[in-house]
Amino acid sequence: MCSIVFDAEVVVPPSHLNVAFFEEVLETALRTARVQLLAIHIRMGSSTGENYCSQIYRAKVSFKRPDHPEQQMVFIVKSIPRQDSVEFIEDLEVYLKEKITYTEVLPRLELMMQCKRRFGPKLYQCIKEPESTLVFEDMGQVGFKMASRELGLDEEHCQLVMERLAEFHATSMVLAVLDPHIFDAYTDGMLSPRGLAKDDGLLMRFFAGNGKELHNLVGSWPGFERIAEKIGKYMQNQRANLERSQAPQEKEIKVLNHGDLWLSVWGSPGIDLNYFFYTSLTLEVLRHRRSQLLRSYHAKLAKTLLNLDLGVPVPSYEQILEEVHRREAYGFFASYGIFPTVSQDKAQTADNNLENFKDEDFANHKVRQMFESRRLAETLRYSLPYFERAGVFN
């Protein structure tokens, strides 16, 4: 008889994460039904306050196979509860997009790279009922570690991201030629009209709160009066400006933008590049190494397209620069809509969850807390004048 134990930190154990569920997961992972489950231990897979829209669990499964000693495998389980507060997840068909990404898209992209690259973890199980749930391999078991979101990435890791992102984009360009409808489900990203349609929806309320706090913060800085005034005008038409920053443009290069993966979108590589620059770099790297990072990205993109040799035109470096420039507004959005959350001190995030954010006083307090970050202020003092020169506020 297999036992299943939930850690005390799992306040409400999900009933569907039972022995039968993990039996099917294990059979898929091992590619055999000749396996006997012995014990299952489930704990939370991320720190409290690190995930807003889903519950992440880490499940350790002990099992035995014929003629093998007892073994263990660890899985990451992502469960997305159905809540009114995250209605945008259903509006944007997030579960379906994530399922297609891991079952169809990523395996094909990795095959193009002759399986010498991993673009994500293996998906072992996905179910829609009783709540959307996906089970992945635990990349921590094969040597990957989470970087500090509060500190940002150093140059070495940024270079690595540029190279892998370029390979991801290049293979997606080729796959779109081989299978023209493969990315039909990727028209709605984070800033699509459907995601931002409701004034009282989670995304629009969150971004509106951040925009108001940004305006207040910048308005308190001597020497930033002109920029503060422009930000105020920009926020008066915030929804349209957000939609425009992601909306398709004529004659743009198109790739599968990674985003947060479940909010991936088929569009300009400038979306991904600006999102990464203004959420994940240390200020030193952003200030001094941006051009070198773009050079690395373009070099790897060109090399990958040429190696695949399927006739996809190789964009010039100048074309990539133009794509990035045309999407600077997306970088501005990332700098105030996403970066404050990313850079927030972990000590302040323990009570961050969607239920608490329903309370207006709590939400306002948290937004003010986010915008008190020293790293955020230092980065904005550099990036806002840059966005002004780029014409983002016009």
Spatial CA neighbour of 177 closest among 319, 272, 309, 307: 309
Quick one: DSSP state of residue 118? -
Spatial CA neighbour of 208 closest among 387, 388, 88, 333: 333
CA 230 to chain centre: 29
Q: H or E segment at 127? A: strand 123-127
Spatial CA neighbour of 207 closest among 247, 237, 186, 248: 237
User: Would residue 249 be called left, alpha or beta, if left means φ above 0 and alpha means ψ between -120 and 50 degrees?
Assistant: beta
Which pLDDT tens digits describe the chain residue by residue (394 residues)? 799 999 998 988 999 999 999 999 999 999 999 999 999 999 998 766 566 678 899 999 999 999 899 999 999 999 887 766 566 677 677 888 899 999 999 999 999 999 889 999 999 999 999 989 999 999 999 888 888 888 899 999 999 999 999 999 999 999 999 999 999 989 888 898 888 887 777 788 889 999 999 999 999 999 999 999 999 999 999 999 999 999 999 899 999 999 865 588 999 999 999 999 999 999 999 999 999 999 999 999 999 999 999 999 999 999 999 999 999 999 999 999 999 988 888 777 777 766 677 778 888 888 899 999 999 999 999 999 999 999 999 8
pTM: 0.93
